[in-house]
């Protein structure tokens, strides 16, 4: 329970009134109601530098990768950096979205369900994010309406200007005001010109005015398309995008131009002339072989040097405080391994959302990082669990050296997952189950080893006589779906002598969760009698976190999401060990292949970073 502010009895009355209101107020909101701005003014600091990144022409240009790459470069020069994402949709968070709508939901240590771009931020920077790193329009409006119901605005008419804008600005300032960061990079989702993004552009305009030119920078990411018919790059879309940005009172300080072909000096001067920036402020971001080459390519362009100069960081920090250039030795070492694999190993990813390339983004990237660490290229075979049956499971899985059964919700494709797990267990193929994948492994074991034919999760069969997976007790009292699961990082104790204890190299770990159902402790000991080992336990509540079948070469299921803890150059211990097991299995079965070039629908010239 959050303490009530002792100096503001007015809010005590407001909280009392709010308890009768249907709007649910979050703990985070109640903790901050005492900071509501009655006069519309927003306090700010000028010590932290704010870098705003907007996008134009089209979506999916890679704002998140540009933000993460710039953050990595600045961090490599000795600055403390964090990245914030503002999404213009009305959902309070992406937690209730179908992965086909929005890709994966990324979960932070403190339990925020966030945009998948935060996964890129954490993997690139190696620094955890939090609730404050991802804000949506829905969350902004919920905060404002909640304050209005609590009487925080003292009867004033609540409007987009100033109240919504002030709330956006408060979130933009929030991380900078902690004193923990030298630079806050703020990515604005969507495209300039979208109706839903306009309040964010106004907030940026006001902040740039408030903190001053030397403390705020506007980066505009745009597209310079290549027309095959004309045989040349075209700058007009970029010109129009910047004019749209100018109509909101924002002059970009620099442009990052996505292109398939190099942008020559003449074209850069042309872009600069019609967008009111210096020619040296026009940076190219060419299509690259890997997103992990982007930091090096942007360094070659001099992006970090320009940013440091424009924000006057070196002078303010003092001589010797900054590295003269970004040191990326570890990054380059990882990239060399990534680009020069010794062989390819094929792993089957069995899931419900495999038709969307971003639905399992963190898992995919975790395999890339673990593959590089093991000197191999991991080729993922995406297999839709709906299509797996007893009759065709061998055909679909016979050519993979390992099987990962992915997370998910709902009963579609569940039997296909269970069938795939049985095939892995009976044929001693390395198996890795994550969240629902682990639960399906418990169900499969109960059915086919314990001979409990109707064993199931109560999520899918509430009337089963053997509910090996059941709803957590506190979840039974909840009706809201958004933000009410077991979310965030929890402790886990690893049993001495277990394989996972050896993989992690320590007894206590902390991993992130996103689920409502758990292994049923009432039936857990019966499962143990038949050979299933529960080797990871939450010490506070005696909940099962990890299951193993020790007689198999590699059979591990985890209730948490290890993919959220992967960092570039530092693969997660479970993914690292799983890939090792798959490589060993493939070597025994003569399944290793020569490395493959990435397949693209259209052949283009790809940029390669100098190493």
What are phi and psi for residue 23, nearest 5 degrees? -70, 130
- Tell me 328's DSSP state: -
Burial class (CB in 10 A: 0-12, 13-18, 19+), 304: buried
Task: Tell me which residue of 261, 260, 243 sits closest to 252, measured CA to CA.
Answer: 243
Q: Is 563 known to be catalytic?
A: yes
* CA–CA dist 527, 519 (Å, integer): 10
* CA–CA dist 492, 270 (Å, integer): 58
Which of 246-278 are b and which e, b meaning 16 or more Cβ less than 10 Å from the residue's Cβ?
eebebebbbbbbbbbbebeeebbebbbeebebe
Q: Residue 385 contacts by C-beta under 8 Å, 6 or more apart in sequence? A: 350, 351, 352, 405, 413, 414, 416, 417, 420
- Tell me 22's DSSP state: S
* CA–CA dist 572, 562 (Å, integer): 7
- Cβ distance 288 to 294 under 8 Å? yes
Q: Among 220, 466, 561, 572, which one carries the catalytic annotation?
A: 561
**E-strand stretches of 533-579:** 533-538, 543-548, 555-558
Q: Is 588 known to be catalytic?
A: no
Local structure of 482: helix, strand or coil: coil
- Cβ distance 67 to 121 under 8 Å? yes
Q: Among 365, 563, 572, 582, which one carries the catalytic annotation?
A: 563
Local structure of 51: helix, strand or coil: strand
* CA–CA dist 180, 226 (Å, integer): 42
- Cβ distance 169 to 206 under 8 Å? yes
- Count of helices and strands (H, E) across the chain: 21, 23
Q: Among 257, 435, 492, 582, which one carries the catalytic annotation?
A: 435
What six digits make up the tokens of 369? 């990082």
* CA–CA dist 395, 393 (Å, integer): 5
Q: Is 492 known to be catalytic?
A: no
Q: Are strands 226-227 and 232-233 parallel, antiparallel or unpaired?
A: antiparallel
- Helices 63-75 and 294-301 cross at an angle (nearest 10°) of 70
What are phi and psi for residue 471, nearest 5 degrees? -65, 135
β-bridge mates for residue 51, sequence order: 185, 217
- Cβ distance 421 to 444 under 8 Å? yes
β-bridge mates for residue 255, sequence order: 220, 282
β-bridge mates for residue 345, sequence order: 378
- Cβ distance 33 to 150 under 8 Å? yes
Catalytic residues: 435, 561, 563
């Amino acid at each position: 329970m959050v303490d009530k502010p002792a100096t503001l009895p007015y809010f005590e009355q407001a909280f009392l009134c709010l308890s009768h209101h249907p709007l649910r107020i979050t703990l985070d909101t109640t903790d901050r109601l005492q900071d509501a701005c009655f006069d519309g003014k927003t306090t700010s600091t000028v010590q932290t530098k704010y870098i705003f990144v907007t996008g134009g022409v089209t979506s999916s240009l890679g704002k998140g990768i540009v933000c993460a790459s710039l953050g990595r470069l600045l961090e490599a020069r000795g600055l403390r950096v964090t990245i914030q994402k503002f999404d213009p949709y009305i959902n309070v968070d992406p937690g209730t979205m179908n992965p086909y709508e929005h890709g994966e939901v990324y979960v932070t240590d403190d339990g925020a369900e966030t945009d998948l771009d935060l996964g890129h931020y954490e993997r690139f920077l190696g620094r955890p994010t939090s609730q404050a790193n991802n804000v949506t329009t829905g969350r902004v409006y919920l905060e404002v309406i909640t304050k209005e119901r609590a009487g925080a605005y003292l009867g004033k008419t609540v409007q987009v200007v100033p109240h919504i804008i002030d709330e956006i600005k408060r979130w933009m300032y929030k991380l900078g005001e902690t004193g923990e960061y030298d630079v806050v990079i703020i990515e604005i989702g969507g495209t300039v010109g979208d109706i839903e993004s306009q309040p964010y552009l106004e907030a940026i305009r006001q902040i740039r005015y408030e903190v001053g030119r030397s403390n705020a920078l506007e980066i505009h990411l745009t597209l310079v398309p290549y027309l095959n018919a004309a045989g040349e790059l075209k700058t007009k879309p970029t010109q129009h995008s910047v004019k749209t940005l100018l109509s909101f009172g924002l002059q970009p300080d620099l442009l990052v131009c996505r292109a398939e072909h190099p942008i020559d000096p003449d074209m850069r001067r042309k872009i600069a002339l019609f967008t009111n920036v210096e020619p040296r402020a026009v940076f190219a971001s060419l299509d690259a072989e890997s997103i992990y080459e982007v930091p090096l390519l942007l360094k070659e362009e001099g992006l970090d040097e320009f940013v440091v100069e424009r924000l006057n960081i070196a002078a303010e920090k003092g001589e010797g405080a900054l590295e003269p250039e970004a040191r990326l030795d570890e990054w380059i070492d990882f990239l060399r391994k990534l680009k020069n694999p010794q062989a390819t190993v094929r792993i089957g990813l069995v899931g419900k959302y495999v038709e969307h390339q971003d639905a399992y983004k963190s898992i995919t990237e975790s395999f890339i990082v673990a593959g590089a660490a093991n000197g191999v290229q991991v080729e993922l075979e995406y297999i839709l669990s709906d299509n797996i049956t007893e009759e065709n499971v061998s055909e679909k899985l016979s050519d993979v050296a390992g099987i990962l059964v992915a997370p998910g919700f709902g009963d579609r494709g569940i039997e296909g997952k269970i069938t795939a797990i049985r095939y892995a267990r009976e044929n001693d193929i390395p198996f890795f189950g994550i969240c629902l994948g682990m639960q399906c492994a418990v169900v499969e074991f109960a059915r086919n080893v314990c001979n409990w034919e109707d064993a199931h999760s109560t999520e899918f069969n509430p009337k089963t006589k053997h509910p090996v997976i059941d709803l957590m007790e506190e979840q039974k009292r909840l009706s809201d779906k958004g933000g009410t699961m077991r979310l965030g990082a929890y402790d886990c104790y690893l049993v001495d002598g277990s394989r996972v204890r050896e993989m992690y190299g320590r007894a206590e770990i902390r991993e992130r969760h996103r689920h409502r159902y758990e292994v049923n402790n009432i039936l857990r000991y019966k499962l143990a009698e038949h050979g299933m080992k529960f080797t990871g336990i939450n010490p506070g509540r005696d909940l099962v976190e990890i299951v193993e079948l020790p007689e198999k070469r590699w059979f591990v299921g985890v209730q948490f999401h290890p993919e959220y803890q992967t960092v570039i150059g530092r693969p997660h211990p479970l993914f690292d060990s799983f890939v090792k097991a798959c490589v060993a299995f493939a070597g025994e079965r003569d399944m290793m292949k020569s490395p493959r070039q990435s397949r693209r629908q259209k052949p283009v010239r790809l940029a390669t970073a100098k190493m």
